[in-house]
Amino acid sequence: MLSNLTKKFSNKIGIDLGTANTLVHLSDHGVVINEPSIVTLNTKTERIVAVGSNAREMLGRNPEHLTVVRPLVEGVISDFDIAEEMIGYFINRAEEIEHKLFRPIIVIGIPSGVTNVEERAVFDAAYHAGAREVFLIEEPMAAAVAIGMPVHEALGSMVVDIGGGTTDIAVISLDGIATSKNIKIAGDVFNQDIILYFRERFRILIGERSADDIKCAIMSVNPEIELEREAFGRDMMTGLPKKIMVKSSDIFEATKQSIETLLDGVSEVLERTPPELVSDITRTGIYIVGGGALIRGLDKIMSEHAGIPVHVAHNPLESVAHGTGIVLENLDEYQPILIKSEDHD
């Protein structure tokens, strides 16, 4: 139980710590930060020179002594020291907005099914970055809270969280995750699919940032939606810059196999879910959150594949972050769904 002093004076910061982007939620402000989970490191001085959006601007343009690093891989911390610096940066940014000096209480969204070691890495990074108290929450659960699903009740709810590093598929009931699957098909894989397709189909080399921009601009799994965009890269034959027009149908062709794997993952979770919960989900539908929820036509194709209504959550990019904010304002109510550290005061 939190002391009255803590409740009154501490910052409350909710963090959706994603592979691709980190979102920060503040009480009374909502989501105040949405920046890439990227850090630029000077390898000569071993000092961090940029974090977030500033670091992304350097991606693909950095000289040899500047390394652009993602401290999270597939939703979990892969470089503890840099992750700690990045979390600290975002906490400091949030405290500048809040204009408070007290160490914050933090709720951090993490993928479902991470190991105890991976949980410990997140706890330690947040405490070392200046947190007073830290709680973890599985990202599908946070999204379900934001959507308004009955997470406390004996009713099945299903969330598909398509992030940058992983897709988290979870069935929720009675303050817990009844069935889940975490697959490595998500935004980063789509980017790699697009890079490979350009190389094999167009004989053009493009970078990760260009692939991500193309994906966000025109990716569609609905054949009735055909968009176009100029794409720039390096011709593999001449080595010279080259511009082409790329269509949504090209991007669908590039990512088709990955999309099919994602849909099969949803079906697998449903097949392993108790019939009573599947019955609930059939009535309420599946909710998609995360950046992948913005893929045009994905809700329709997933519904056809699963035989269940599929809905795109309102503001799906911020669902997990909003969920952490709701939990922060009602910590006593949501204690059963939180992961707590026993090793920190």
Q: Residue ranges per domain, the chain?
A: 4-142+319-340, 153-185+259-316, 187-254
CA distances from 223 to 162, 190, 211, 284 (A): 21, 18, 20, 27
The CATH number, out of the four listed (3.40.30.10, 3.90.640.10, 3.40.50.150, 3.30.420.40), of the domain defined by the range 187-254: 3.90.640.10
Using one digit for the tens of pLDDT, what is the confidence trace for 51-80? 999 998 888 788 888 998 889 887 788 888
pLDDT score recorded for residue 10: 53
Domains 4-142+319-340 and 153-185+259-316 equal at CATH topology level: yes
Taking 80 as the threshold, does the pLDDT of residue 121 lie above it? yes
- The CATH architecture assigned to 153-185+259-316 reads 2-Layer Sandwich (3.30)
Which two tokens mark 214? 């193309």
Q: CA 62, 67, 69 angle in degrees (round to 5)?
A: 120
Fold of 4-142+319-340: Nucleotidyltransferase; domain 5 (3.30.420)
| Ranges 91-100, 181-190, 277-286, 288-297: which has the least confidence | 91-100
- Give residue 271's pLDDT: 97
Cβ contact 98:26 at 8 Å: yes
Nearest to 22, CA basis, from 136, 98, 141, 109: 109
Provide the CA 115 distance to its chain's centre, in angstroms: 18
Q: Which residues contact 250 (CB under 8 A, 6 or more apart)?
A: 197, 201
CB-based contact 219:296 (threshold 8 Å): yes
- Range with the lowest mean pLDDT among 26-40, 94-108, 206-220, 294-308? 94-108
Angstrom distances, CA of residue 200 to CA of 193, 205, 210, 235, 242:
11, 9, 16, 12, 15
Chain centroid to Cα 20, Å, comes to 6
Q: What is the pLDDT of residue 103?
A: 80
Tell me if 180 sits within 8 A of 140, measured CB to CB: yes
Find the mean pLDDT for residues 5-10.
Answer: 44
d(CA 265, CA 285): 16
The residue that leads in pLDDT, 231 or 103, is 231
What rounded mean pLDDT belongs to the chain? 91
Question: What is the predicted pLDDT for the residue at 5?
Answer: 39
Say if residues 194 and 211 touch (Cβ distance below 8 Å): yes
Tokens of 75: 């939703």
Residue by residue, DSSP assigns 171-182 as EEETTEEEEEEE
Higher pLDDT, 61 or 319: 319
Four-point Cα dihedral 287, 290, 295, 296, nearest 10 = 50
The answer to whether 23 touches 320, Cβ cutoff 8 Å, is yes
Neighbours of 323 (CB within 10 A): 30
What is residue 212's three-state secondary structure?
helix
